Amino acid sequence: MASSTCGHRIQARGLLMQNLHPDARESAPLVVVCTAATELSLFLRHSLGSEGMTAICATSASEGFDHIVSQASVIALVDCQLPEADWLLESLLHAMPEEGLTILVLSADDRACSQLEHRQKGRVHSIRRPLDPAFLLKAIRRFAGQMRVNDRNGLVFADIKLDLAARKVWRQRREIRLTGIEFELLSTLMLEPGRVFSRESLIAQAWPPGVFVDTRTVNIHIGHLRRQLTAHGEPDLIRTVRGYGYALDRTDPDLERDTS
């Protein structure tokens, strides 16, 4: 399956987790259940919801990929009986940063699961069939607890990781040196992936209050930020909305560029 078929529908994490208890919204990982088994989807959505977690169910590999890659902290439950499950697993392992993804694989093929676990130690964990619902819930709780220990200063989008407290940025484990303005612009975009920020709103977020900044100055700093993030040939994740502003997105087609 070509990756272009996935659509890369980016959604802000806050919108997907709006039903969580306020104390859990910032820390509870999203569980994306990729299976065609309706009963399993309904069971997990109800059971996890009662424990303060959110479960999103996907009935196709491409839909599951879209949901998973748009999030910063995800437990992906992949049913190997789902058509193109192998493609989904390989795509996730290449697309997602190690810190932001834990994969639970439901499979009756012990050999295949063991090989995948060995190759991706720490990221992929197999759950054998026949399935024990209590054991499955216990496993999800355990991995969710591990992911919640991450403090709220970390932001992750695609292969970009940002530490708000240390004011550091990495892409594919390469540290990127940003100016103060560039850091503020990137952190603003990463807080709400997919949202289009006007140039005026970016000025309000990234520059000191009371300082006059021409909107064209935003274009210059975004250009510098783009060059820093793509210095080693990485894809450009900043989308330009001509005449309005910018968004952090996973759009693959050629992106518009301001010429002003």
- List pLDDT tens digits, range 83-131: 999 999 988 888 876 667 889 999 876 555 545 554 555 578 888 888 8
Q: Of 148, 174, 199, which residue sits at a domain end?
A: 148
**Both structure tokens of 166:** 């240390």
Evaluate whether 62 touches 32 at the Cβ level (below 8 Å).
no
pTM attached to this predicted model: 0.49
Query: Do 110 and 12 belong together in one domain?
Result: yes
Query: Do 90 and 217 belong together in one domain?
Result: no
**Both structure tokens of 70:** 């748009």
Q: Which residues pair with 126 in a beta bridge?
A: 105
Q: What is the pLDDT of residue 112?
A: 52
Q: Please list the pLDDT of the chain residue by residue as tens digits (260 residues).
A: 433 333 332 233 333 333 333 333 445 678 999 999 999 999 999 898 887 778 899 999 999 998 888 776 689 999 999 999 999 998 888 887 666 788 999 987 655 554 555 455 557 888 888 888 888 988 888 887 666 544 456 788 878 888 887 889 999 878 999 999 999 999 999 888 888 999 999 999 899 888 899 999 999 999 999 999 999 988 999 999 998 999 988 644 333 344 33
Q: Of 113, 148, 183, which residue sits at a domain end?
A: 148
Query: Do 51 and 84 belong together in one domain?
Result: yes
Query: Do 16 and 99 belong together in one domain?
Result: yes
Q: What is the pLDDT of residue 25?
A: 41
Query: Do 54 and 173 belong together in one domain?
Result: no
Place of tokens 């949901």: 67
- Other C-beta atoms closer than 10 Å to the C-beta of 107 total 18
Q: What is the pLDDT of residue 198?
A: 94
Q: What is the pLDDT of residue 5?
A: 32
Q: Of 132, 148, 164, which residue sits at a domain end?
A: 148
Place of tokens 């503020």: 184
Query: Do 106 and 220 belong together in one domain?
Result: no
Q: What is the pLDDT of residue 250?
A: 65
- Report yes or no on 253 lying in a domain: no
- Report yes or no on 99 lying in a domain: yes
Query: Do 164 and 112 belong together in one domain?
Result: no
Closest CA to 239 of 222, 227, 224: 222
Domain encompassing residue 176: 154-248
- Other C-beta atoms closer than 10 Å to the C-beta of 44 total 21
- Report yes or no on 259 lying in a domain: no
Element (H, E) at 94: helix 85-95
Query: Do 240 and 205 belong together in one domain?
Result: yes
**Both structure tokens of 217:** 């100055």
